[in-house]
C-alpha cells in the first residue's frame, strides 16, 4: 500500500481518508484516484535530497507522466518547474496559468508552430534536440525579436537496464546529439555564439523505470566530464540537467532505487568534479515524472464478469482495461491490486484481470492472487498515477475515465469522465 492508503474496519480500502466504495458511488468507475498527500510528500523528499551548497537545484516535474490543469496548479504550489513536450502540454500549462518561465520545452520533433508558441509565451528554457531545430528556433526568435534560453540535449551513450522502449541513451537513440560526435561540439559552439538563443548548458535523460543507481551515477560522471571538455575550450556551462527515470515499485520483483541516496550521490559526484576542475557549473536540474506520481495513483474498476475457462484459468472482467492502462500490453508491465471492498479477506484465487477491449492482450493483471470476487466488487489497481491517464485512448470507442484527487477525507473532480458525445465531438 502506498501513501495514505488504509483499510477501514469494514475491510474497505480508503485513499486520502475516502473509501473506495464512496468514490465509486460518487464518481462511478473506472476511476483514476490521485492521492495529493503522496505527491506533496514525494516532492518534498526529492527537493530536500536534491540540494547542494554549491549549485542552485531545480526539480522539474516531467508532466508527460500525468498532466491536467489541476496537476499544473499542484506543481506550481510545490514550487517545481514543469517539463512539457508538446503544444498540448504547453497549452495545458497556460490554461492553469502556470508561470511559463518555469517551463522547459522538450521533444525530438518540435513543430514550427510549437516553437513559435514556446517563444511567444515565454517558455523558460528550450531543450534543443538537434541542429535543424536550433536553426528554426534561432530564426523564430530573430523574427519575433525575442530571446530564449536553451539547453542542448546530448546522448551520453549510457545503456540503462530497462525496457527497450523506454531506453533513451543507446547510441542509436532518436533523442539528442551524441557526445561522441565532433558535430555536437560544433553545434554547441554555434548555440554559444547565437545572438538570439542564450546557451545555458546540456541535458541528458538515459531512460525510464531504471533500478540501477549506478546508471545515474555514471551519467552524472560522463556529463560532468563532457562539461570539462567544453570548459577547456572556453565554453561556459551554467546548467546541467540529468533528466528523470528513477525506478519505482509496481509489483513483486521490483526493487526501486533509494531515491534519496541516488539524488544525494548524483549531486555529490558533480560537486567533486566541478571543484576539481573548476568548471563553474551553477545549476543542476532533474526531471522526475513517474517517481513523483505513479504510486499516488490507484485505478478503481467494477468487476462485471467472472469466468473460468475449459483449461481452468480464472478471469475477472473489469469495466476498463488497455484504454485506461496501456502499460501491460505495451511494456509487459506488471501491476498489483486488491478487491477494495474485501481487503480483509484472504487473497486465495489465482486470477487474471482482463479488460473489456477486443484484444487478447488486454490483460491488466496476470495470474495474480486476489480475493474471491463477486459481480459489482471494486478492483483497485495500484501504481497507476504515471503514464496511465496520460496514455489513455478511446479504442473501441470507450470514454476515458474521470480523475479524482483525494486529500484529508475529501475528494474533488480533477477531470470529468468523457461522455459518448465527447467521443463524436470532432466527427464531421
Distances (CA, A) of 313 to 246, 322, 328, 349, 350: 35, 20, 19, 10, 8
Q: Which string of DSSP letters, residue by residue, matches 220-286?
A: HHHHHHHHHHHHHTT----EEE----B----STT-----HHHHHHHHHHHHHHHHHHHT----EEEE
User: Toward ligand LLP, which CB reaches closer, 11 or 256?
Assistant: 256
Report whether the peptide linkage leading into residue 30 is cis, meaning its omega lies within 30 degrees of zero: yes
User: Toward ligand LLP, which CB reaches closer, 14 or 219?
Assistant: 219
- Pull the grid cell for residue 343: 481487503
User: Toward ligand LLP, which CB reaches closer, 83 or 324?
Assistant: 83
User: Toward ligand LLP, which CB reaches closer, 49 or 371?
Assistant: 49
User: Toward ligand LLP, which CB reaches closer, 243 or 355?
Assistant: 243
CB of 202 to ligand LLP, least distance (A): 13
Handedness of CA 122, 123, 125, 131 (dihedral sign): negative
Binding region for ligand LLP (CB under 6 A)? 62, 64-65, 83, 106, 166, 205, 208-209, 243-246, 287-291, 327, 331, 386-387
CB of 419 to ligand LLP, least distance (A): 27
Helix (H) or strand (E) holding 148, with range, is: strand 148-155
Cα three-residue angle 253-297-72, rounded to 5 degrees: 130
User: What is the Cα–Cα distance from 137 to 147, expressed in whole angstroms?
Assistant: 10
Q: What is the DSSP letter of 149?
A: E
* Cβ contact 153:204 at 8 Å: yes
Helix (H) or strand (E) holding 121, with range, is: none
* Phi, psi dihedrals of residue 309, rounded to the nearest 5°: -80, 170
* Cβ contact 360:399 at 8 Å: no
Distances (CA, A) of 327 to 18, 63, 120, 392: 27, 17, 35, 10
CB of 293 to ligand LLP, least distance (A): 8
User: What is the Cα–Cα distance from 381 to 398, expressed in whole angstroms?
Assistant: 19
User: Toward ligand LLP, which CB reaches closer, 102 or 205?
Assistant: 205
Active site residue 358: yes
Catalytic residue among 141, 343, 357, 358: 358
Please list the active-site residues.
Answer: 358
Amino acid at each position: 500500500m502506498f501513501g495514505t492508503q488504509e483499510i477501514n474496519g469494514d475491510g474497505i480500502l480508503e485513499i486520502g481518508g475516502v473509501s473506495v466504495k464512496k468514490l465509486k458511488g460518487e464518481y462511478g468507475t473506472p476511476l483514476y484516484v490521485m492521492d495529493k498527500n503522496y505527491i506533496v510528500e514525494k516532492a518534498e523528499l526529492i527537493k530536500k535530497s536534491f540540494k547542494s551548497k554549491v549549485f542552485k537545484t531545480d526539480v522539474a516535474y516531467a508532466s508527460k507522466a500525468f498532466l491536467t490543469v489541476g496537476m499544473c496548479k499542484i506543481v506550481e504550489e510545490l514550487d517545481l518547474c514543469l517539463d512539457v513536450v508538446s503544444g498540448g502540454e504547453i497549452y495545458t500549462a497556460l490554461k492553469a496559468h502556470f508561470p511559463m518561465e518555469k517551463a522547459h520545452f522538450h521533444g525530438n520533433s518540435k513543430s514550427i508552430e510549437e516553437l513559435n508558441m514556446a517563444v511567444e509565451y515565454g517558455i523558460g528554457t528550450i531543450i534543443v534536440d538537434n541542429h535543424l531545430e536550433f536553426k528554426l528556433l534561432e530564426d523564430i526568435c530573430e523574427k519575433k525579436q525575442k530571446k530564449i534560453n536553451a539547453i542542448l540535449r546530448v546522448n551520453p551513450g549510457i545503456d540503462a537496464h530497462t525496457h527497450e522502449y523506454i531506453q533513451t541513451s543507446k547510441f542509436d537513440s532518436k533523442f539528442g546529439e551524441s557526445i561522441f560526435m565532433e558535430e555536437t561540439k560544433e553545434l554547441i559552439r554555434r548555440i554559444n555564439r547565437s545572438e538570439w538563443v542564450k546557451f545555458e548548458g546540456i541535458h541528458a535523460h538515459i531512460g525510464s523505470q531504471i533500478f540501477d543507481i549506478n546508471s545515474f551515477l555514471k551519467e552524472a560522471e560522463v556529463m560532468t566530464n563532457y562539461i570539462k571538455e567544453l570548459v577547456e575550450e572556453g565554453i561556459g556551462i551554467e546548467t546541467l540537467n540529468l533528466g528523470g527515470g528513477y525506478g519505482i515499485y509496481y509489483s513483486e520483483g521490483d526493487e526501486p532505487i533509494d531515491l534519496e541516496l541516488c539524488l544525494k550521490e548524483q549531486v555529490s559526484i558533480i560537486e567533486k568534479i566541478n571543484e576539481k576542475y573548476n568548471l563553474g557549473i551553477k545549476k543542476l536540474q532533474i526531471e522526475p515524472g513517474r517517481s513523483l506520481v505513479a504510486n499516488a495513483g490507484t485505478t478503481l474498476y467494477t468487476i462485471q464478469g467472472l469466468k473460468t475457462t475449459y483449461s481452468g484459468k480464472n478471469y475477472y472482467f473489469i469495466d476498463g482495461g488497455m484504454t485506461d492502462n496501456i502499460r501491460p500490453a505495451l511494456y509487459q508491465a506488471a501491476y498489483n491490486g486488491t478487491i477494495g471492498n474485501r481487503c480483509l479477506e484472504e487473497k486465495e484465487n489465482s486470477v487474471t484481470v482482463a479488460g473489456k477491449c477486443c484484444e487478447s492482450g488486454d490483460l491488466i493483471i496476470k495470474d495474480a492472487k486476489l480475493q474471491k470476487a463477486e459481480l459489482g466488487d471494486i478492483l483497485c489497481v495500484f501504481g497507476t498515477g504515471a503514464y496511465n491517464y496520460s496514455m489513455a485512448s478511446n479504442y473501441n470507442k470507450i470514454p476515458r475515465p474521470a480523475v479524482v484527487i483525494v486529500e484529508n477525507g475529501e475528494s474533488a473532480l480533477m477531470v470529468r469522465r468523457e461522455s459518448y458525445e465527447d467521443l463524436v465531438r470532432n466527427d464531421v
